[in-house]
Amino acid sequence: MNDSNGKIKSRDSKIIWGLIGVLILILTNFATYIIGTTMPIKGTRRISEATYEDLVKFNKLFIVKENLYKFYDGKIDEEALVDGAIKGMTESLKDPYTVYMNTEEFKEFNTQTEGNYVGLGLQVGVKDDKVVVIAPFEDSPAKKAGILSGDVIEKVDGKEVNGKEYEKAVAMMRGEKDTYVTLTITREGKGTFDVKVKREEITLITVTGEMVDDNIGYVQITVFDEHTDEQFNKVTADLKKKGMKAMILDLRQNPGGWLTQAINITSKFVPKDKVIVSTEDKNGNKEEYKSKGGDLIGMPLVVLTDGGTASASEIFSGAIRDYNLGTLVGENTFGKGIVQSVLYEKKYGFGDGTALKVTTSKYYTPKGENIHHKGIKPNIEVKYPKELSEKPYDKKTDPQFIKALEVIKEKVK
């Protein structure tokens, strides 16, 4: 064997053991929730118990790599090989929310949870293996371009996307400020068409409020980011000073966000120490998140929901429904009842700016219901006409808001 082959063998050996270390650490260590909470992933093996077994199981990866070095007539980027192999693993799970993120993708992912980023200002999810718009954010480029909840994104700049490429589609929609992206959209009743949208810096004001009657406040939460709890406290304190004795809380088109923020805001309405939501992983490990108590307990409440009400918003809605603390008015929610964790630190086998976002558990409402793919049915169902969704919003013509106002007035008589 000549020297060059010897170098390749040596390099292969280092890469093999490095990959194994990363794979085992992913499986055995603790996870950090994207939504701000931590919990251990229990019941996995120690590295010493799994190293040889995993080497045998994943041997074909290294056989393919060796043959690429022997026969491929072109440039080989080892980092790209590793990234591609890991992405292939996550994609094989057919879970659009479990993804490996390279350095750039993880950086973009972090910016969106911090409350500002450059992009289109919309939240997407996956239904029937399609990339579907959950909701455009208020006053965002997507909203201004007329993109609606329920729109199916078929292509981004001419490149086809689907549920398996959920994170790729999100990354493609982001980019530099003042650049454009063309989305090919299919909309029920309108067919398929293109929308050109300008990327802008998205700074989110996630909570707004106003008095809609002498003693009724209207509060809208558009997303649960890291500032939402603080904004909610300020808005509701201001409305209470203005005489608010009852509240309409609008969670329509709210795609969710941080679990910690959802827990904090739900606690405002739920008596202290009552369970708001619980999670359970594949090993049966359960975690309960309990109310901290708050200053809105007992306040008459109506919650507005629709098909864009998802994830953390459904945690709030589920707790209100299960404890009968308010009335849900509107349409069935999106139905995302799973929790993702993000592995990114050195102790998890990373530390190089890459990360693994992985579905680690299901969540359950206080009465033990998992709403994944089912959503939450409102107490009073009111459809929002499609023709109104394409016009400028007006509370006076919004049948869901009108019904909510009617219901809340009955509660404060």
Of the candidates 110, 173, 172, 166, which has an alpha carbon nearest to the alpha carbon of residue 147?
173
Catalytic one of 149, 253, 311, 317: 311
Q: Give DSSP secondary structure letters for 274-307.
A: -EEEEEEETT--EEEEE----TTTT--EEEEE-T
- Walk across the sheet containing 327-330 and list its strands: 207-211, 216-221, 246-250, 301-305, 327-330, 380-381
| CA 279 – CA 287 distance, rounded (Å) | 5
Catalytic one of 340, 341, 361, 400: 340
Catalytic one of 336, 357, 361, 400: 336
| CA 305 – CA 313 distance, rounded (Å) | 9
The answer to whether 350 and 356 are in contact (CB under 8 A) is yes
By the 10 Å C-beta count (0-12 exposed, 13-18 middle, 19+ buried), 367 is classed as exposed
Is 336 part of the annotated catalytic residue set?
A: yes
The answer to whether 278 and 228 are in contact (CB under 8 A) is no
Question: Which region holds residue 131: left if phi is over 0, alpha if psi is between -120 and 50, else beta?
Answer: beta
Name, in order, each residue with C-beta under 8 angstroms of 361's C-beta and a sequence gap of 6 or more: 279, 280, 281, 282, 287, 338, 339
The answer to whether 228 and 206 are in contact (CB under 8 A) is yes
Q: Which residues are catalytic?
A: 311, 336, 340
